[in-house]
Structures are given as C-alpha cells and as structure tokens.
Amino acid sequence: MISDSVRVRFAPSPTGFLHVGGLRTALFNFLFARNTGGRFILRIEDTDRARYVEGAVENLINTLHWAGLYYDEGPLVGGDFGPYVQSERIGIYKQHVDLLLEKGTAYRCFCTPDRLEAMRKEQEKNKLQPKYDRTCLRLSAKELADNISAGKPFVVRMKVPDDISVKFSDIIRGDVEFLSERVDDQVLLKSDGFPTYHLANVVDDHLMKISHVIRGEEWLSSTPKHVLLYKAFGWELPEFAHLPLLLNPDRSKLSKRQGDVAVEDYRDKGYLKEALVNFVALLGWNPGDEREIFSLAELEKEFSLEKVNKSGAVFNVEKLNWLNFQHLRRQTDGEVLSMLKAHLSKMSIDPSKFPDRYLLEVITAMRERVSFVKGFTEKSPYFFSPPEEYDPAVINKRWKPQSAEYLGELSEAFSKMSDPQKGDYEDALHRTAESLKVGNGELIHPLRLAVSGMGEGPGLFDIVSIIGKEETIRRINSAIERIK
C-alpha cells in the first residue's frame, strides 16, 4: 500500500532520557510510515512544565537520529502543520476550549485542590470510583458569572455524556468498548492556561491530519476520553493501534528498578544501533516466520501493524546480546576498524600507535569471540599492551618448574627467525619441543600465559604473529623473570 494520506506521529514529553518503550513506539510509527509511503512526524508534548527537563528535546532528537529514525516533519525540520512544539500552540488550544464551552460540552470548574482531595478521600472511603462529582456543572448562570468576575481560578472540564457506550476499533485489539460512566470529566485546560495531555493530543492529531495513532497499551484507557473529544468537536476519528506492554522476564512491567530502560544506557554500553533497533522491533512484532535478524531497511519492507501481537513483550537482554553479536559480524572490517579506533580513544589508548593493518589482524582474530566492540580490549587487552599480571589459576595449572627453561629455549629459536610468518612460529615450537623431548603442550601453555597473561583466547600462533617476533620475545623474557 502506498498512501500520501498516511500520517503518523511520535509525541514524547521532554522529561529526560528516551525510554526503550518510547524507542519502540517511535520505531513502529517510523516503520509504518516508510512501509506505506506515509509521513513520520515528531511532536514535542511539553505542556507539563513541572516535568520539563532542560536539554531533553535535543537529546531526544539526537537519540532518534542515532537509531536512524529521521522524521519528515517536526522541530528543526519544519512542515506545513507546525508549530510542532505544544508550548508554542497555547492559543490554538484556548480557541478550541472556547468552542467546547460554547457548545456546552465543557464547563468551568472552580473547585479548590483541597476540596477535590477531600472528595477523592470520601469516595475511596465509600469504595466508589474516583470521579469529579460535577459540583461546578450545577452552578447557576449568576454563580458562574460572579466567580469569573471575582477572578477565581478555574480549570475547564469536559462534560462526559451519561449512560452511553464509547466504541472504537483498534488495529491490534479489534473492537473496544467502554461505558461512559467509567470516564471522568477530565480536565482539558489547567488553571495556568496550559492544556492537559488529552486536549492537546486530540487537537494536534486532528489539525496535523494524523491518520493512525500508534502508541503503547498504557494509553488504551485514555482512548475513550479522546474518542469523546473527537465527537464533541465533530471530527473524524483516526485509526488506533495500541502496542503491547514491555515486560521484564518475570512478566512485571518494564521499569528502571529492574534494569536499564534508557536508550542512552544501551548506547553507552556499546550496543550497536542496528542490534538495538532489531531487538526493539521484535518486541511485539514478528515477520510471521523464523527470521530474527533484520536491518532497518529490511524492517521497513516487512513491517505491518497486522503482525503486532496483543500480549506483552518480554525484554530479554540475552536476546539483545545475541543480536549484537550477529550485527557485529555483519559489519565490514572497515566499519569495525572505525568503531575500534573510537573505542580505543575512549579508553585513553592512542589508536595511532597501531597501524590499521595491525588492528585489522586483531579484528580478524577476535571477531568470532566478541559481542561488543569493547570486547576487543576486555577479552584481549594483550594486543594493546603487555600483560601486567598473569592469571594465578593458569600459573598453578600450566606453569611448571621447567617452564622457564623451556621458554628460554623457545625464545632462542624465535630469535633466529627472519621475518617469520604464523606457520614459522608453529614450526619453531614443534622443533623446540622435539629437541627437549617433551610434548608441544609443555611449551604452548606457558607461551600463551607469557604473551597474554591468560589461559584462553584466539589461536596462540595468531597472537604471536600479530604482536610480532620482538614483542613476543620481550614478553617471554618478562614472564621468565616475573613468574616464580
């Protein structure tokens, strides 16, 4: 399906970092727009000034761009339906609230916070649903006029129709129905003149011609309020699609108390954007077959809302780690080289000390052994500096009283080689073992310990051929001196 009329939006609040659930919402909107030839819009919902965080908008945009999610309309980009920041649209909301007041589908409420709190407590005491009791809806015209002329602060509430069924269709969940008696007379305009989420959301979605509202399941209970607002204005409903909840492995709702939830946390830990986007795409969606590894371009081609599940999606970090390994393998040597240099700089290791040829040999040796770029320094630090210490467990198991003597013989054999290649080191070790009348293992294990400080890793002769003859001999001599 190709449609210029498909318009979707991601509308976050600038209250901090981008949650992985927010990334999932942004991604599904983005993929749907790209799959249908529609438009992906970014709108900043910043009317809750108490929760506004300075710099959050810039961080959010940078994070979306890092993930490859570039919007077609929004802040900095512009478009025909701006402004795309809600705090710049206050006059628009006031006009629409006045329209509802004229129609009688909204009313002013002068109740103080203390009175509302007392009312809520009384309702809870009597085990009643917490709802506004409509005291101000019963004000006479004179009482209303007197309150306004006295300058009493007020909010504007929506008048929810009595005893009706609020119905709407959801692409993921099918037909949904709520009874209006369960819907509170929500506040539309706060006493400071700022709109609530509900009013601004509906007005902006209509004026920006949003065709599909794709958001998390947590907004499902708010949708009846939005449907009633659309009807109060006499507007056509968009199509709704509520995405499944993100869950911890224990099936509880994903929260910061049980682990990282910010996209920036995963980026800073070294996860590839390709892996994180792939992982997030599979949180509630699947292609209908066994495939699990996708590029962003492949996701754009495959995505459809009809393949999104209703049930909650478990956030499995082990799956994310596996995908990171798979996507790291997909990267070219040149791409990994660039990432490795950046990582070395971050670790205060000067990458210019190592020729590209050297680093590419390290990448070849370690590519199948690391899931993260940081794994090159964590799992094989010996490629970047000589071992400062030796694994005690390996010393106890592999270093014998005669190991120093054997390595001395091996060092002598290595020193006689001219421009040795990988196979030359292996041949020299075999010859030395034969002359000493010992098995190859009597030399292999102490040599690995000497050059790496560890008991495992890539092929031993890969290591020595990469670090070179002179460095290998230096490390052998150092080990002979230091390991007792």
Strands 246-247 and 165-170: what pairing? unpaired
| R_g of the chain, CA atoms, integer Å | 32
Tell me the three-class secondary structure of 143-204, residue by residue: HHHHHHHCCCCCEEEECCCCCCEEEEEECCCEEEEEEHHHCCCCEEECCCCCECHHHHHHHH
Distance separating alpha carbons of residues 206 and 232, to the nearest angstrom: 13
* Cα atoms in the 13 Å half-sphere on the side-chain side of 381: 11
- Whole-number Å distance between alpha carbons of 190 and 48: 10
* Residue 206: CA count within 13 A, CB half-sphere: 19
301 in catalytic set? no
The pairs formed by 136-145 with CB atoms below 8 angstroms and a separation of 24 or more are: 136/107, 136/108, 136/109, 136/110, 136/111, 137/107, 137/185, 139/110, 144/108
Sign of the dihedral through C-alpha 177, 181, 182, 184:
positive
What is the number of other CB atoms lying within 10 angstroms of the CB of residue 124? 11
Do residues 472 and 414 lie in contact, with contact meaning Cβ atoms separated by under 8 Å? yes
Choosing from 152, 167, 253, 256, which is the catalytic residue? 256
Distance in angstroms (rounded) separating the CA atoms of residues 204 and 421: 68
CA dihedral 165, 171, 172, 178 (to 10 degrees): -10
Please name the amino acid found at residue 125.
K
Tell me the sheet residues that pair with 40.
8
- Going through 54-127 in order, the beta strands assigned E by DSSP cover 106-109
> Hey, how many other C-beta atoms are within 10 angstroms of the C-beta on 70?
13
Examine residue 351 and say whether the peptide bond preceding it is cis (omega within 30 degrees of 0).
no
Burial of 160-176, coded b for 16+ CB within 10 Å and e otherwise, reads beeeeebebebbbbeeb
At 7, give phi and psi (nearest 5°).
-135, 120
DSSP 136: G
d(CA 307, CA 328): 27
Strands 174-179 and 165-170: antiparallel
Kindly write down the DSSP assignment for every residue of 351-409, as one continuous string.
GGGS-HHHHHHHHHHHGGG-SSTTHHHHH-GGGTS--SS--HHHHHHH--TTHHHHHHH
Q: What positions carry a catalytic annotation? A: 256
